[in-house]
Chain A
Amino acid sequence: MKSKKSSETTKIKNKPEKNWPKIPTDLDPWRPVWAQQKTFDLASGKYLKIWHGPQHPGVTGNMSVELTLEGDVIVEAKTHVGYLHRGFEKLMERRKYIQCFPIVCRICVPEPDFNEYLFATGVEELAGVQVPERGIWIRTLVLEMMRAASLTMGLGGQAGAFGLVPIGQWGVAHRDYILDLFEELTGGRVYHMYIIPGGVRQDLPEGFAEHVEVVMNKLEKLIADIERVMFNNAVFKARAKGLGYIPPEWIEPYGITGTTARAAGVPIDVRKDNPYLIYDQLDFDIILGSESDVYERTRLRKEEILNSIRLIRQILKRMPSGPVRAKLPNVLHWKIPAGETYVRAESGRGEMGYYVVSDGSEFPRRVHVRGASYTHAMAVLERLAVGISIADLAGLMPSLQTCPPEIER
């Protein structure tokens, strides 16, 4: 019983097999993957247990994967989070609604604005606040800029994980150009605290559209370079193609969203499925892939950046005038009518959602954050890591767009 199962899973699966098994039995809710205890005879010397993280530079943030290796090959992976737990959801229950506003952005470092937007829109929905038209457009602009910034850094991270270090540096530097724009717009670089319940805090500064255009041109040039250096790179192709294949059948049961799902050819995009803000007025298509491996997911993210650039240009061109913010009641005693709501948005990593419950008091009764990382980086990673080489794990994790702060809230 002990070592019976392990010997079956030692084959390296660098390429997707055509006859991948249909929905495996371990997706049975009564027998979840995490509850399946596998035991490996470590004393035999055949297996080695190591911790990948939480200090590993290839790990996206502070999480660790407990690996059991047979030679170079991973036979079991368990994800461990909790290194970054700050209890934001609980903190919010002891803070007035306006006091939650500066907290939520900290839930996810690379994409804070999605948290700001979702919290604000959840509260607005419960309180019945109508955001002015221009405020909605600026919100969309901010979210698209955020997506571009996050994915640019993500591309760099993905490249860095395979040793293409210059691209990592280009990605971070170009994110910084976008952060400069954020600084100009919001007053903050990483955490913007800009999308406030009621609208956005301030109107666009003078000449902002031109500054955005300069950065977008730089970004386009960068993508063209990355195209040559990364996507037409024999090494990258050799390592990324076929790695971390996610069959389309997994998408729904695992709750996979975002580019990770679209790379498998499943057209899921909250911007199209449940248009929020002004996405129904913008001209864009769902970007679909088919191969569903690390290479494909990375390629899709590159396409998403270009799509965001197109959206940003559209938004700036068609931005209406008017106020950007609705007047709120006195926020010091702001009571939100009792009720609950789930709001969602398409973040760079996938669907992000906020479940906000109000009991009619000045404090939220419960705020629950649904992030894409939770499924991608924990459940899916544990499946995908089995059978790959330990050297490829660092490349697999960023391709699932892991963000531990968002997992732990």
Chain B
Amino acid sequence: MSLKDILSPFSAWKRTLEKPYTVKKPIEEREGADRYRGFHVNDIEKCIGCGTCEEICQNEAIDMVPVNFIHAGKGDSGLRPQIDYGRCCWCALCVDVCPTGSLGMSNDYIWVTSDPQEWVFKPGVDDKIWKDDDKGYRRSDEAWLLDPKLTPMPVMEPDVRKNTFDEMAYGYEVVMAVEEASRCLECGICIDACPTHMDIPEYIKAIRENRLEDGLKILYDTNPFSESCGRVCTAHCQDVCALGHNGDPIAIRWLKRYITDQTAEKRNEILRIGKSLPQKEGTVGIIGGGPAGLTAAFYLRNYGYHVVVYEQHDKLGGMLRYGIPQYRLPKEVLDREIQTILDTGVEVKYNTTVGKDISLKELKEQYDALFISVGAQIGTQMPIEGIDTPGVLVGLEFLDKIAEGQRPDLGERVIVVGGGNTAMDVCRSSMRLGAKEVFVYYRRTEAEMPANDEEIEEAKEEGVKFEFLTTPTKISKQGDRLKIECIRMQLGEPDATGRRRPIPIEGSEFTVEADTVIMAIGQKVDSSMAEQAEVKATRWGTFAVDPDTLQTNVKGIFAGGDCELGPDDAIHAIADGKKAAYFIDKYISKKGKHHAETK
């Protein structure tokens, strides 16, 4: 034992002069670090209630609960996270996984409350001392656990596809489909947005787990046109996809197509089409063999009724056949899909126009129930001078001809008027017919165009040129060509639909020449048959129905699809068909809400 060892420890006294490492709370406050993970904050406006935070929480600390002032709607479940801090471990995985980026954590250290109930609260809804804009842990792009990048669909090069009507998208390979399917969060926000409420997370899961047969069954539970929808659906589901808030939404449409493509050959076998159907007394007549009519036919047949479809063309499919060009929806695909529906035992009377060949009243007497789904088949004409000039075509009729295999010569320079999906189909078909220059004239700007962004983008890739804020005022013949007088527009106040109304700019008139002008500015419903059975129509010419049951004012006559909605997309028609089938079944089996009043 040395003297040094005895004296040396006394140097500890030196430390008494050091500043102690303590905080004199509450005189002094110490702010948490910028990244500190304290209690949660939630931007409830941004939050969509997808529940991914609840899904990832390993402590089950998060519950999705309804909040008074937030209402469920398209793309919002109306629920918000409620967190139990007796369970929370402050790992912030919920923050890292949040698809919208609404969830975060404050950097408050200390919070004292005497009420144990207060430890379970809804961040962003319940008032707390910390604010949303305070510092604290927020998800960085690098820390985001989700994959915002879409698996791209292999498509034909624009230079190749603009010369052919062959289908432009090749479809996903197995690896691509599984990769895309694995991006899904299974939040189910999409189900509500889909008009026919397809069980999207379940069939995506089936792809991930390579259970395509189950996937197909799930598709046919709600949509017998899954294969066509897998190609041309307007995909309302993708508009609300949780991943779409900070990245690309899941390619739900392409995944649906993947299932149907892979199982196409064995479809009837997997679905046991036509086998062991229930048998029910009752017959249903369906007027119009488009998506709405055939969907209703499919489900009614599966309910066990005898179903007869009246179709004015010699082929079924309606707008899917005559309105959508081959390069988006090949006819073979549509044919095999319709064949599946027919294989259930649906009877079809082709080339029969109800209203002319047979009256609605006669049909009403023949069948227990009728479903009118004639669509919106008449192209709208523009009320301008020279609209009858040869060389001026109507968009729908033009597409109709192409669908029947005709390849009209449009000349070198084509002008398409309109901004909807029909206008896109027309202008892109015109490119494929060999037109050198195709222009789209639209009276508003690109932002207001009703066509899908994807279609506009693809049209541009194929060389279609766009003239916005432009409308024709007069068309006349000048030699072999057409002379079109146009005027520029500007946007004024928003109208009833919320879109800004175009107003002509005086003195901005100009003249262009073209070989062909195609008007694709809208469609109308031909509801002239309605009066034969005293069915009421609205002032827009559509059939008036009870929105809950799709029944018209005449008991036993239902209407749906474009002829009831006005021009809309296929998936709404399919949804109407499914809904009508359900209520027709209720009606016939006399269990429905109109049971007391009916025969």
Contact = CB atoms under 8 A, between A and B. Distances in A.
B342 interface: no
Contact of A232 (B8, B186, B208): B8
Interface stretch (A185-193, A345-353, A366-374): A185-193
A235 B1 CA distance: 9
B183 A193 contact: no
Given A188-B90, A205-B34, A332-B55, A228 B185 contact: no
Interface in A165-219: 166-167, 170, 173, 176-177, 180, 183-188, 191, 193, 201-203, 205
B21 interface: yes
Contacts of B4: 232
A95 B37 CA distance: 22
Contacts of B113: none
B24 interface: no
Contacts of B182: 329-330, 333
Contacts of B147: 327, 329-330
B21 A177 contact: yes
Mostly, the B contact residues are loop
A126 interface: no
A409 interface: no
A337 B528 CA distance: 64
A278 interface: no
Contacts of A230: 9
Interface in B169-193: 182-186
A328 interface: yes
A131 to B, nearest CB: 13
Between A103, A185, A328, A333, the greatest number of chain B beta carbons within 10 A of the residue's beta carbon is seen for A333
Contacts of A302: none
B6 A234 contact: yes
Contact of B21 (A101, A173, A188, A234): A173
A225 interface: yes
B12 A187 contact: no
A333 B6 contact: no
A328 B96 CA distance: 13
Interface residue tally on B, bucketed by range: 35 or more
B41 to A, nearest CB: 14
Given A173-B21, A233-B5, A325 B143 contact: yes
A273 to B, nearest CB: 33
B93 A187 contact: no
Interface in B552-593: none
Nearest to B183: A330
B389 interface: no
A191 B97 CA distance: 20
Contacts of A228: 8-9, 11-12
Interface residue tally on A, bucketed by range: 35 or more
B56 interface: yes
Contacts of B105: 187
Contact of A233 (B9, B15, B90): B9
A333 B336 CA distance: 34
Contact of A183 (B32, B91, B145): B32
Interface in B231-271: none
B140 interface: yes
A197 to B, nearest CB: 10
Contacts of A329: 147, 182
Contacts of A202: 35, 140, 142-143
B91 A102 contact: yes
Contacts of A270: none
A225 B58 contact: no
Contacts of B20: 173
A102 B142 contact: no
A238 interface: yes
B89 interface: yes
A98 interface: yes
Contacts of A333: 182, 184, 208
Contacts of A238: 1
Given A184-B35, A228-B8, A99 B58 contact: yes
B33 interface: yes
Given A183-B36, A225-B12, A233-B8, A95 B58 contact: yes
Nearest to A323: B142
A102 B58 contact: yes
A332 B15 contact: no
Nearest to A233: B9
B137 interface: yes
* 10 interchain residue pairs of minimum CB distance: A102-B91, A99-B58, A187-B35, A234-B5, A232-B8, A187-B37, A173-B21, A184-B33, A183-B33, A233-B9
